[in-house]
Structure 1
Amino acid sequence: MAGKRRQFGRVRKLPSGRYQARYVGPDGLLRPAPDTFRTKRDADEWLADKQTEMRRGDWHDPDAGKVPFGVYAAAWVQERELTARTQQLYESLLHLHLEPTFGGVNVAEISPPFVRRRRADKLTADTGPTTVAKAYALLRAILATAVSDQMIRRNPCQIKGASTVHTPERSTASVQEVYDLADAIQPRYRALILMAGFLGLRWGELVGLHRRDLDLDHGAVRVRRAVAELNDGQREIKAPKSAAGKRTVSIPAAIVPDIRDHLARYAESGSDGRVFVGAKGATPRRNHFNRVWRKTCSQVGIKGLHFHDLRHTGNTLAASTGASTRELMARMGHSTARAALIYQHASADRDRLIADALSGLVDKGRRNRKGHAGDTAD
């Protein structure tokens, strides 16, 4: 009696004694298993899995991922609406850190062990951990899209925390040091130092300010744009990278007179006039300003302080006032709480204030308790 005819797929025994499994996919093409099987039962089980995938609508074209990663990644970058600066960063990470390793490998052939091994190789080759983290984050994002495109089933980037950039805690200037720097630097940059130190604005946000962005009568500055410097020396005027970046920041009254003086002496005229311009009338460039900055730091005896650390100073001071996480996020221009929480770390001075306040509550509570006990005794 003939055996029961198979309803899904075919299995045949090869001259080698191993078994080959094939089936017709949803696209009507004959699909062989990528490998042969030791037993007929193994081949049957593989076919059963494929049939289940098709019934669930979970079937993936096994040829879809047969695209070199380098080709897919280049298209991925071009298909996204990126700022020029971000596009340059991604292209650099691809060229220097991802394509040499993954460029010629098909997307479907990139496995978790392969990713782990290559990441470890990068770290042992003295590639900076920040660069490795950024490259890994880009790799994970590209392959996440490959999952959405049904080229692969799962993202092979599964290393927890590998895309997190761990930066050392930045230096913080004291209030007096901010004023020492402002007093010593070229007068046209005095207000720049004070606004960076006490408003927590970024370099690109500061040099992107126009007169119309300042409302000194109400003590506020509106952040609506930033100037980004590209690798080729060109500059891009862009909106903040998140909606939260567009914000209005209150100005401490103590520095309003300095800003008024700056506007009168150095800023361009008219509502559209730039607030900060160099001696020759151009928007200051970061590399040129850095030379002035380093010279000024040396004059006042401050070592290891970067201009961006002034933002850290402003945000730390804001946090020390007892501002909530939401308030700090609004002032800093962040859409997530992660950065704001960094500035809410406990300090000895702040902890002392908390302890003193608690002590007052304890003393008040004890007095009330003693008075209540006395009334009962009487």
Structure 2
Amino acid sequence: MFSSICGPSSRLGAQEPKPPKRRFGRVRKLPSGRYQARYQGPDGVDRPAPETFATKTDAEVWLTRTEAQILDDEWIDPDAGKITLGKYATDWIDERPKLRPRTVELYGYLLRKHIAPTFGDIPLNEIKEPHVRRWRKKLLDEGVSEVTVAKAYRLFKAILSTAVDDQLIKRNPCRIKGAGQEKSPERPVVTVAQVYRLVDVIEHRYRALVLLGTFASLRWGELTGLRRKDLDLDAGTVKVERQLIQITGKGLVFTDPKSAAGKRTVAIPALILDELKAHVKDFAQNGDDGLIFVGPDDGPLRNTNFNRRVWAKALQDADLPKIHFHDLRHTGNTLAASAGASIRELMARMSHSSTRAALIYQHSTDERQREVARKLDALARGALDKDPLGTQRARP
């Protein structure tokens, strides 16, 4: 009678209804009291969440978000990011066959010297933003130059950007604003008089090397790669089609010029043509493919040997500060800008495909400012002379 009135649900020992089974994933309580979430990925592998949760609700929220990532095709295999940075970075460099040999050498050095000691054995998915910040600060604190740190950071960021594209990690941890920007100190400008002081004291076979490097704005490798057929002294031009560079483990190698705009023809000032003609006659190798600039042994020039045996002594004899041979190119670019070369003309002469480098040489000089002022003065006076009333207004 009692049971018929109260119904079966009020019987002693009645079971509570079970919660509905989850459509995606499952949650279980661990002996520790925390909750574990598990799910089947789109690859069919059953996986646990990377962490446990304090409450069942937290675990279910995590499963909901994971399901959304799978549905939106944003899910990343957590096992994929377990490859170490060192292995992935080495493959990253090898998979870029169009990199120039010098660039491959630079990347290998930056990876080996500055990135791998900290991150080489760390899985990609364990590298976080704080780790990158501490790594960069450590390099700077250890005295690594800001330019080198910027290069290393840019390489690190590029490698991890590819890891994002490869769906190995969700987010690039290299997110330090401005960390990849180089702020190189401005190189000194050698005056024309100082260039000729160098020419007067340097070994005779290197006089033309200094002059052409300055007045044609050529790089060291472009100069040492020049052949007789690249130099047209009747037309007063030099054609740049290759460069000679030294690669660790390979020695001297002929490669394409440094930049995409590197293959170019540069006009030579008449001032140095006689010196170049004498040089070709006395020192260049024979034949159209013979090198223009060679050492006493008639072999290709090596930058390290030249700097140690020739350049340092010439600077001392000329009573000049310690400048780099490359500063001659900087001087030539500055002279070209002062002579009125446009941005496009500078880009062609310097072999740059962007305006950024050319703009560096468009800075004003006192003399150029005075010239502009003189021209403005003449224009203004001419306009006033044509307008008597205007002249009266301008000259009370």
Superposition TM-score, scaled by structure 2 size: 0.89
1:321 aligns with 2:322: no
Deviation of 1:199 (Å):
1.0
Residue 44 (1) aligns with residue 60 (2):
yes
Structure 2 partner of 1:69? 85
Q: Does 1:336 align with 2:377?
A: no
How far did 1:241 drift? 3.2
On the 8 A contact 1:329/1:335 being kept in 2, the answer is: yes
Q: Secondary structure at the match of 2:82?
A: coil
What are the within-5 Å matches in structure 2 for residues 206-355 of structure 1?
206-232=223-249, 234-290=251-307, 291-355=309-373
Give the drift of 1:29: 1.1
Question: In the alignment, what sits opposite 2:6?
Answer: none
Q: Which residue of 1 aligns with 2:44?
A: 28
Measured after TM superposition, the shift of residue 233 of structure 1 is 7.4
1: CA distance between counterparts of 2:244 and 2:391?
A: 67
The answer for the alignment partner of 1:148 in structure 2 is 165
Change in 2 beyond 3 A, CA 1:37/1:191: same
Q: Please give the alpha-carbon distance, in whole angstroms, between the structure 2 residues aligned to 1:280 and 1:328.
A: 36
- 1:176 lines up with 2:186 in the alignment: no
Greater CA drift, 163-172 or 38-47? 38-47
2: CA distance between counterparts of 1:149 and 1:244? Answer: 31
1:199-237 residue CA offsets vs partner (Å, 9 max, x unmatched): 110011001000111122222111111111233571111
Shift of 1:174: 0.8
Q: Give the corresponding residue for 1:105.
A: 122
The one-letter amino acid of 1:178's match is V
**Structure 1 ranges of 4+ moved more than 4 A:** 371-374
Deviation, structure 1 residue 123: 1.1
State the distance in 1 between where 2:28 and 2:388 align: 93
User: 1:356 aligned to 2:387?
Assistant: no
Alpha-carbon separation, structure 2, partners of 1:263 and 1:165: 39
Moved more, 6-15 or 212-221: 6-15
CA distance in 2, matches of 1:363, 1:236: 60
Superposition deviation, residue 243 in structure 1 = 2.0
- Give the unaligned 5+ runs of structure 2: 1-16
Aligned Cα root-mean-square deviation (Å) = 1.9
Q: Relative to structure 2, which stretch is displaced further, 235-244 or 350-359?
A: 350-359
Q: What is the identity percentage for the equivalent residue pairs of Structure 1 and Structure 2?
A: 52
Q: Distance in 2 between matches of 1:62 and 1:351?
A: 62
Query: For 2:312 and 2:250, how far apart are their aligned partners in 1?
Result: 21
SS at match of 1:228: strand
Deviates more, 1:153-162 or 1:4-13: 4-13
Q: Which amino acid aligns with 2:94?
A: Q
- Determine which structure has more spread, i.e. the larger CA radius of gyration: 2
